[in-house]
Amino acid sequence: MSKDFGKQALRYHRHPRPGKLAISATTPLANQRDLSLAYSPGVGAACRAIAENPLEVSTLTARANLVAVVTNGTAVLGFGDIGPLAAKPVMEGKAVLFKKFANIDAFDLELNEKDPEELVKTIARLEPSFGGINLEDIKAPECFIVEQQLRERVNIPVFHDDQHGTAIIVSAAILNGLHIVGKPIEQVRLVCCGAGAAALACLDLLVKLGLPRTHITVCDIDGVVYAGRSKGMDRWKAAYAQETSARTLADVVDGADIFLGLSAPGVLTKAMAERLAPQPLILALANPVPEILPEEAREIRPDAIIATGRSDYPNQVNNVLCFPYIFRGALDAGASTINDAMKLAAVQAIAELAKAEPSDLVTKAYGGKPERFGPDYLIPRPFDPRLLVRIAPAVAKAAMDSGVASRPITDFTAYRQQLGQFVYKSGLLMKPLFERAARHPKRLVYAEGEDRRVLQAAQQVVDEGLAYPILVGRRAVIEARLKEQGLRLKPGQDVTLVNLDDDPRFGTYWRACHRLLGRQGVSPEEARAIIRTQPTAVAALMVGRHEADSMICGAVGKFQHHLRYVSDLIGVEPGTSRLATMTALILPSGTYFIADSHSQQEPDVDALVQTTVRAARQIEAFGVKPRIALVSRSNFGTGDTPSAVRTREAVKRLHAEHPELEVDGEMHADVALSRELRDAVYPESRLAGCANLLIMPGPDAAHIAYSLLKSLGGGVSVGPILLGAARPAHIVTQSVTVRGLVNMSALAVAQAGEQDRVESEGLGLG
Ligand SMILES: NC(=O)C1=CN([C@@H]2O[C@H](COP(=O)(O)OP(=O)(O)OC[C@H]3O[C@@H](n4cnc5c(N)ncnc54)[C@H](OP(=O)(O)O)[C@@H]3O)[C@@H](O)[C@H]2O)C=CC1
Ligand SMILES: CC(=O)C(=O)O
Ligand SMILES: [Mg+2]
């Protein structure tokens, strides 16, 4: 660790307050009534219910989602026995990872006790408090005794992370590494340096996966673990003792296909690495300093696949990829233990995820270049949101199949969706639209069909059955990019390609374009150029001509540029004069929608009314009841600027023409968000509670409010959603993510379905 990085790490731990986590309340505690519910006398009802039926503890307390991270500090990372106090930063860290990656609450408990029997007694007494026990950094062989005895005594999952978390991720990495070099696990020879908690658990699991025990040679601090050795031996190591005259690591590395290091820094020298078999797997996993640094290993063995436990090299083989998710699955299924079936399910899920298509969120988190399965990408990265969605259900299912689940999951689709909502925060809001789109998928044309994010989104859209994608773009480019990203889409089969360089529709389209734009000074020659060079114009014409049901554009280029083609070639809904936009912001405090009449800098009364009505209808499609405030610098008549007067007038018209809407204004934004503030100035307001739709007095205000809230509120957004187009069309921003594109795709398809329904009812077909 460089001096500078060490300083940064200390600062990270000191600020903004000491340590890395805190406890926060999940229920309101703002007044006397809350207090009487949360504490005496209300809490008594919860106590009595649990006394009568202990299973109620899972519904009335946080226990079912609470894990104890327990250590005695005897094997802290690769530092060894530095004691429980110095272990606390690692345990706090594990607790943070539980929370961030799997939404599991964890307490770190550092115990001043080395005797295994005493440790067992203390930890077993914690059973009423926790839904699971994660043992951490307890040295071998004591850790084996502690875990075994605890498993016998308590009825909740006990999992020694350094053993099993490590074993699971090491197994996934080795399976994938062997797949790449084409060596069957039954035939390889493995040398393991370290014979402690992590090493022996890894070997046990690898043996279960088919590695013959006789192909394994183990070394510890005293050298080779051989049959008949007495120094530093225990029965767990003895299980791997070989009949051999070799005595040191240097004696046993010749021709080994795998070096597995779970021991101490620098024990594998370059000279030893040189003697490994061709295309060896070198897993140097001691933390924070590995058995050999990747640059040294690479220098001597350019043919090797190299992994460490660290995040600053490729192939981070670290139990962080496992423990949050295996506990998530175990807790959700109410598992009484974590058994071999659950561990093997986790191995399989992790190994398979590495082979899946790259995720743009992972690409973003790791500096921009999509990673494909291969020697430098053996296993998924820790910031891959799919880890939760894939591992936890696999583990829960294995718990159920192996008969240890007390709360079996009945609907796995719903369970995956629920996990998805945690990792993709927009999931809950989007759910009704995804369901509608999946029920009636429609033709959806993507103007930027060559864009890598669009291709990934189209793959997900096809996988989830949300739409029949049409991609505007050159076939050769699309095919090359599909291949490069490992996507499975088959042009002509599950996506349609439109390439106007060689499409017979070219003539029809440019003439249609000229018909629509001819009176805006566009000559036939220009119309031809537009159709050849502006994919948004092509997509808009397809939608306008009912050759597609909806469109998405904007991943490349400026918003206004796309807006022009959408408004000129698709047009606006009857009764609407202009297009408007709305964005949903999903913040920790709730979901808020911000709308503005995008194309008019100073919207007139008509535009404000139309924007409000269109935005309200769109919010209803999310299954949310709109509570609308037209916000302004004026608060119920305190100002008379032209904008305030127009807003006031718009509210009057809304009250008269749309009495069904819960809407009021003009008002300050804080007054919109607080009933109390509103009551203080205008208790007669037609808006009850907190507004969830803020109609802005202009696009500048909307943009500023949106970006402030997004930066300060730490939320995610869905949008911009274009309001008022004659047929569903959306213009995303250039920074859109794949998830953002999939969200907008579901929205566009759901809108198209709704439009079809309304039209067919209008024709008497409904
Ligand atoms: N990447 C990951 O996800 C993980 C990495 N680890 C790393 O693995 C290492 C071991 O952790 P853990 O198993 O929990 O600890 P243990 O204390 O249980 O085991 C340590 C083992 O390493 C052996 N050892 C120590 N120094 C040397 C040496 N110089 N040469 C050979 N063997 C040596 C010890 O030998 P002896 O038995 O003779 O004392 C012991 O067998 C640590 O560096 C830890 O950071 C652990 C868990 C996960
Ligand atoms: C990663 C981990 O748990 C360890 O190094 O101990
Ligand atoms: Mg550990």
Express each pLDDT in 419-475 by its tens digit: 987 887 777 778 888 888 999 999 999 999 999 999 999 999 999 899 999 999 999
> Does pLDDT of 502 surpass 90?
no
Can you give the pTM of this predicted structure?
A: 0.77
pLDDT band at 364 (very low <50, low <70, confident <90, very high): low
Rounded to whole angstroms, how far apart are CA atoms 217 and 245?
12
Contact predicate 445/470, CB 8 Å: yes
pLDDT digits (tens, 9 = 90+) for 505-564: 888 999 999 999 888 888 999 999 999 999 999 999 999 999 999 999 999 999 989 999
ipTM: 0.98
For CATH 3.40.50.720, the residue range(s) in the chain are 164-320, 322-423
Task: Tell me the three state secondary structure of residue 283.
Answer: strand
Interhelix angle for 166-181 vs 340-355, to 10°? 40
162 within ligand 2 shell (Cβ under 6 A): yes
Helices (H), 496-578: 506-517, 524-533, 535-544, 559-569
Per the CB < 8 A criterion, the answer to whether 601 and 578 are in contact is no
Instruction: Specify the CATH number of the domain 427-569.
Output: 3.40.50.10950
220 CB burial (10 A radius; 0-12, 13-18, 19+)? buried
- Cα 215 to Cα 240: distance, rounded to the nearest angstrom: 10
Feature table: binding site for NADP(+) = 76-83
Binding-site positions for a divalent metal cation read 136-137, 162, 287
Whether the predicted pLDDT of 1 surpasses 70? no
Q: Residue range 246-275: average pLDDT?
A: 97
Does CATH number 3.40.50.10750 belong to domain 580-724? yes
| Chain position carrying tokens 């009495």 | 659
417 pLDDT exceeds 60? yes
- Within the chain, all domains assigned CATH 3.40.50.10950 are found at 427-569
Q: How many other CB atoms sit within 10 Å of the CB of residue 524?
A: 12
Please tell me the distance from the alpha carbon of residue 665 to that of residue 687, in angstroms, as a whole number: 9
**Residue closest by Cα to atom 2 of ligand 2:** 77
Beta-carbon count within 10 A of 419 CB:
26
Atom of ligand 1 nearest to the CA of 286: 43
Q: In terms of Cα–Cα distance, which of 729, 766, 765, 725 is closest to 748? A: 729
Q: Answer yes or no: is pLDDT of 18 > 60.
A: yes
Please tell me the number of Cα atoms within 13 Å of 74 on its side-chain side.
18
Q: Where are the beta strands (DSSP E) in 262-399?
A: 281-284, 305-308
What is the residue-averaged pLDDT of the chain?
A: 92
Element (H, E) at 582: strand 580-587
d(CA 676, CA 220): 68
pLDDT over 90 percentage in the chain: 75
List the binding residues: 76-83, 136-137, 162, 287
Cα Rg, the chain, nearest whole Å: 31
Q: Which atom of ligand 2 is nearest to the CA of 165?
A: 3
Reference 490, options 464, 466, 471; nearest CA is: 471
Please report, as a single letter, which amino acid is at residue 449: G
- Please check whether residue 141 is in contact with residue 112, taking contact to mean a CB–CB distance below 8 angstroms: no
* Mean pLDDT, range 111-134, rounded to an integer: 98
Which residues of 189-238 form beta strands (DSSP E)? 190-193, 216-220, 223-224
164-320 CATH: 3.40.50.720
List where CATH 3.40.50.10750 sits in the chain.
580-724
557 with 731: CB under 8 angstroms?
no
What's the pLDDT at 469? 97
Q: What is the DSSP string of 605-671?
A: HHHHHHHHHHHHHHHHHTT---EEEEE-SSSSSS---HHHHHHHHHHHHHHHH-TTSEEEEEE-HHH
- 3 state SS of 517: helix
Written in H, E and C, the secondary structure of 43-96 is: HHHHHHHHHHCHHHHHHHCCHHHEEEEEECCCCECCCECCHHHHHHHHHHHHHH
* 46: exposed, middle or buried (Cβ count in 10 Å: 0-12, 13-18, 19+): middle
Average pLDDT over residues 307-312: 93
Q: How far is the CA of 136 from the centre of ligand 3 (A)?
A: 5
Residue nearest to atom 4 of ligand 2 (CA): 77
pLDDT for 766: 34
127 sits in which H/E element: none
The C-alpha atoms of residue 759 and residue 103 are separated, in whole angstroms, by 44
Q: DSSP letter for 277, please.
A: P
- Rounded to the nearest 5 percent, the helix, strand and coil shares of the chain are 50, 15, 35
Paired sense of beta strands 590-596 and 580-587, if any: antiparallel
Give the tens place of pLDDT for each residue, 596-609: 987 778 899 999 99
Find out whether the beta carbon of 624 lies less than 6 Å from any atom of ligand 2: no
Ligand 2: does its nearest atom lie under 6 Å from the Cβ of 135? Answer: no
Residues at CB less than 6 angstroms from ligand 1:
75, 77-78, 139-140, 162, 166, 193-199, 219-222, 232, 262-264, 267, 285-287, 309, 317-319
The yes/no answer on whether domain 3-26+62-156 falls in CATH 3.40.50.2300 is: no
- Ligand with minimal distance to 136 CA: 3
Q: Which of 452, 539, 553 is nearest to 500 (CA)?
A: 539
Contacts of residue 746, defined as CB under 8 A and 6 or more positions apart, other chains included, come to 430, 433, 434, 436, 437, 461, 466
CATH number of 322-423: 3.40.50.720
User: From the CA of 7, how far away is ligand 2's center (Å)?
Assistant: 22
Helix (H, G, I), strand (E, B) or coil at 219: strand
274: pLDDT strictly greater than 80: yes
CA pair distance 383, 342, nearest whole angstrom: 22
pLDDT in tens, 731-764: 999 989 888 899 999 999 999 988 887 777 665 4
